[in-house]
Amino acid sequence: MENIEKLMKYSLFHGIGSFELKQMLHCVYVQYKSFPKGYYLAMTEDEIRYIGIICKGSVQMIKEDYWGNKTLLVHLQPGELFGETFVCSALFASQVSFITAEKTEILFLNYDKVMHTCSLTCRYHHRLIENMLRCIAEKNMRLMEKIEVVSKKTLRSKLMTYLLIEAQKQKTQYFSVPLSRVELSEYLCADRSAVTRELASMRKDGLITFEKNIFRILKK
């Protein structure tokens, strides 16, 4: 399992001291597991009874249609949660799939014990619940970003909106995009070849410059 100092930096454990976190993990901890790239952690309609914290690697939340076409909803990175939306809704059946984008290590927590104080009445358990609600709100904001991007009428507008959001998050002139071209096309609900051509066209028009996944916006 990840060391306590690193876990303390995650949003779910914000404001909880190392000693208290050690005690709390005895209550809520389930297991720590490693998964290879492309592993389905959960598929649509699967029952989810846990909360996963990504410790290393990354996880994609995707929606697949009847014909197997994938839409990338959110790309989750270390420190972020998955599964919390469905267990907190008491539906338990996942409406999306979660798949590892690379070799990934995950800390699984017991949902019931996270959301309900135990007999030991851990001093910081209420803070844990508050943090959980904050994490859910942040996930909703990410999904709103997705709506903002894909609601644009042209592929160029979608790409520029996505790049601006990433630039604002990272607050740097040169910023990295966490998605490959295939993943970016799935996120934008666009053809991969069309995305590649449009990026080249935007560079030619002096809007952006990039080298692999490192981008810089030249004009707003």
**Structural domain spans, the chain:** 4-141, 152-217
Domain at 152-217: CATH architecture: Orthogonal Bundle (1.10)
**Which residues are CB-neighbours of 202 under 8 A, at least 6 positions away?**
156, 159, 160, 208
- The whole-number pLDDT of residue 81 equals 94
What's the CATH superfamily of 4-141?
A: Jelly Rolls (2.60.120.10)
Q: Closest Cα to residue 139, out of 91, 187, 94, 77?
A: 77
- The whole-number pLDDT of residue 45 equals 85
Residue carrying structure tokens 């979660």: 98
Residue carrying structure tokens 């790239």: 37
| Residue 101 near residue 53 (C-beta atoms within 8 A) | no
- The whole-number pLDDT of residue 189 equals 92
Q: What distance in Å separates the CA atoms of residue 216 and residue 194, rounded to the nearest whole number?
A: 20
Is 60 exposed, middle or buried (CB count within 10 Å of its CB: 0-12, 13-18, 19+)? buried
- The whole-number pLDDT of residue 30 equals 78
Q: Closest Cα to residue 75, out of 46, 104, 111, 35?
A: 104
Instruction: Give pLDDT tens digits along the chain (220 positions).
Output: 668 889 999 999 999 988 888 888 888 887 999 999 999 999 988 888 889 999 999 999 999 887 878 899 999 999 999 988 877 766 667 889 999 999 999 999 988 888 776 655 567 788 888 998 899 999 999 999 999 999 999 999 999 999 999 999 999 889 999 999 999 999 999 999 999 999 999 999 999 999 999 999 996 5
CA 88 to each of CA 50, 82, 91, 112, 143: distance values in angstroms, whole numbers, following the listed order: 10, 11, 8, 9, 17
Q: What distance in Å separates the CA atoms of residue 51 and residue 45, rounded to the nearest whole number?
A: 16
Is 72 exposed, middle or buried (CB count within 10 Å of its CB: 0-12, 13-18, 19+)? buried
Residue carrying structure tokens 């508050």: 130
DSSP string, 142-185: HHHHHHHHHTSSSHHHHHHHHHHHHHHHHTSSSEE-SS-HHHHH
- The whole-number pLDDT of residue 91 equals 66
